A and B are shown apart, each in its own frame.
Chain A
């Protein structure tokens, strides 16, 4: 059961990444479909990348399914498919999924600071993420954030490079940096009147970047000629790539640990979280495996997991004696009543 948690986390992360990558193209495809421009695109397609994207999506949407042959010939069917594609909008920064508005608290607070007004839509959008963070802690960082997933790959690459015998530095900074960046960014937003942290926040950058890319590709596919010149991607991906390189060579998980303003806000919101990692210490063998694997560089063996923990549960999975567990209120009551099954890997090892 414990091993499956990490598979679940990876599944969630990969589905979020796929959403960020594919949604912009699906949404633009919906426009082509609703306006019946697919045929024109197929006729006018001269092998450009921009046209190929939408024709590939089209082929995929028209594949024969078991229940009904969806050939998208009638206007009603096209309308139905277009409606279905509308269910997921936006990206991780702010999304509308099946009618639920979800806004990143950092974006919302920045908007409030920059415009000096509070709007109802914003509060509704921030409600679910804030509640989830209050209960589960900084889970956005470890379970949802697409940039977090990318930066987790740097840990694997570092391990690989170290195995090859390449010396890598691992500089550590103060974790207070990210709170400074958060406060400074919000102050700048307040005085300048622009939400600036959104330009520094990798998940927002990724989402916006692929939307801009899809946008230019869409208009290129319609115009049949390049309208953008060499500017396919802006500096945002360069910024993320730069962090990626630094994390591989100089400082492991630098951004998430020390500099991410969004992570800082989630950490503050989740500081009184209900579900925490706890060490029961009865079975602990002081193997320090949890400290070695912790992506945030924390000490899960300590009694107080602290502000920075993002409940990724990697330490829980890697704990061989089963000493670490999830702590939440009423757990003792539930266990006393025999409602929760205690898994005891420690006994398995002994037998």
Chain B
């Protein structure tokens, strides 16, 4: 009589299968919620797409490789790299740079410490492509004729190449040299929505 053994086997097998199906189903639901995309890149929109640390791959590959280990944040000496919280639009735990507050000073320590090369090693500061700065000529003090500023030019690590100043310190961005570090956005003298903002992605690279 092998029936008890067989019965036990069938019960175990069904338990395992049910557990597996439940687990995979749960993972699938989680995957759907986590795959919420960052807002589409519209230059006239109010919020720029999220800025990733230097050396980051394109969004899709970056999210695949990044294991959300927080090491890049620990390596950042200026506190520019922040971690997404669950209420944010990007997957929780992934690093981003809020250029509104602090820009990246391109020390590239995060690319050295990244364990998965989700932030690929970048060896020269000017080879980084995090995004592109865009000036809003309606709000920029120098461009709309209400004053003379040039704060973005002063902090730009590639001033003269990435940003040049024109009449009354009106900034012009040169996309071949702009690395998208966000220092200019952090330095912009406007409160609230800044006149110069960094849009992420390698679309312009």
Please give the residue numbers on chain A whose beta carbons come within 8 Å of chain B beta carbons, in ascending order. 23-24, 27-28, 30-32, 34-35, 82, 86, 89-91, 93-96, 101, 103, 107-108, 110-111, 114-117, 119-122, 125, 173-174, 176-177, 180-181, 184-185, 187-188, 192-196, 198-199, 204, 207-208, 211-212, 215-216, 218-219, 228, 231, 234-235
Among B60, B70, B114, chain A packs the most CB atoms within 10 A around the CB of: B70
What residues on B are CB-neighbors of A94 within 8 Å? Answer: 67, 69, 71, 115
Stretch at the interface among B15-23, B146-154, B160-168: B15-23
Task: Give chain B nearest CB distance to A214 CB in angstroms.
Answer: 9
The answer for the CA separation of A254 and B73 in the assembled complex, in Å, is 33
Task: Give chain B nearest CB distance to A140 CB in angstroms.
Answer: 15
Verify B30–A196 contact, CB threshold 8 A: yes
The answer for the CA separation of A226 and B16 in the assembled complex, in Å, is 46
The answer for the CA separation of A101 and B27 in the assembled complex, in Å, is 29
B145 within 8 A of A: no
Task: Give chain B nearest CB distance to A20 CB in angstroms.
Answer: 11
Per the CB 8 Å criterion, the residue count for chain B at the interface is 46
The answer for the CA separation of A195 and B27 in the assembled complex, in Å, is 11
Verify B68–A231 contact, CB threshold 8 A: no
Task: Give chain B nearest CB distance to A101 CB in angstroms.
Answer: 6
What residues on A are CB-neighbors of B118 within 8 Å? Answer: 111
B82 within 8 A of A: yes
Task: Give chain A nearest CB distance to B26 CB in angstroms.
Answer: 9
B87 within 8 A of A: yes
The answer for the CA separation of A188 and B34 in the assembled complex, in Å, is 13
B39 within 8 A of A: no
Closest to B79 in A: A31
B176 within 8 A of A: no
Known: A188-B24, A193-B60. Is A107-B74 also a contact (CB below 8 A)? no
